[in-house]
Structure 1
Amino acid sequence: MFFSLLKHVLLGPLLRIVFRPKATGTVPDGAAILASNHLSFCDSLFLPLMAPRKVVFIGKEEYFIGAGLKGRLIAAFFRGVGTIPVDRRGGSDAADALDTALRVLGQGRLFGIYPEGTRSPDGRLYRGKTGVARLALASGAPVVPCALIGTDRVQPMGHRMPKRIARVEVRFGEPLRFAEDADPRAVTDEIIAAIQKLSGQEYVDVYAASVKNGDRARP
């Protein structure tokens, strides 16, 4: 109910008027994984806005544990739109989040994921983590590659609020399906290549988190 209120009454109409987002391509019926590039915090606003059905995401745990009124409001927002917290350090919490994602897909719903694992530090497309592949292989759901265009101009890295008005585009690619015994690394690379084809971004074969941590050489 909260998601529908945000999308159709409160936030969605405002975003449509101000940023004039458009979508190209289609999303299949039933369970599907939306695998997108990740340029900006506001990606998680525009992708659900332009998707034909509700999208459930995994979000970093920090969004849910902030202090004070602001922290509680942020946590309430992410819970309200169906975001699942995950501890990105790994361990049982991450496994629980993936199990939840499998349940979402088992219900015939849309699950959104950013294969890079974090926002791009410079607008380029980085190596994908294999979680998206493991989810696709375990669920049998098709992967729809997605490209967000312009969100980094709206809200660049390091900005808490939108910086400028720029048109946003969401491109949905052709669904990808994989054999159950496919190699997760190869599947992930194929998904990233499909995202790159849609987005036109330069590809960098390192993890974005490594670049943020100053370790540019890590594969």
Structure 2
Amino acid sequence: MEIAMPFFSLLAAASLAAPGYSIKLNDYPDKALEMGKSAAILADVVVDPKGKLVRCEKLDTFGDAELADEICKIYETKRHEPAHFANGEPAWFMERDVYRMFIPGTPTRTAIDTLRKPDAILEVNALPPGMETLDALVVIAIDEAGEVTDCGPDVGDEPSPVIQAVCANADVVPHDVFTTPDGNAAPYVSRMRFRLQVAAAPSDVAS
């Protein structure tokens, strides 16, 4: 893949960020904690600029069914750190992701990790030795027309050639136009998982 670095990828600042969810161990339901239960949901969520989760639509579940039913409710009762645009302005946030409550060290962790599928697959010429695929998370800003205006690494990740390559191609996936509860289109922040894989070699053509 030729790495083209659009202007917005060079400017992606640390303040372009997805929400910081404030779920702690004491939010774990007592019964599930005592019984060592873990669960996860794949969900479409919306977080408003004040950090309140205003939508949580379950698409798939894994693990303890009773705990899975509680995950949206637990997230909805908490106030989270809101998403931010690169200029530091709080933003609407929309994504499809895995939301989980699990006890570290339990065997369900690996299975929960597989619940989240990539949003898009990018073919590249090569990956580091021994790797067949490589997943990268990026945070993107999207305007009222559904166009990408900014892109950068997820919280805790550093800029890298992989992130730059993904950001250069973040617009290959159609992005939804976000509508606020009052019916107006608005810019928003999202987080996406891209999977890089080596492009298949073209088949030899018999002469």
Compute the TM-score of the two structures, normalised by the length of structure 1.
Answer: 0.24
Say which structure is richer in strand: 2
Say which structure is richer in helix: 1
Structure having the higher Rg: 2
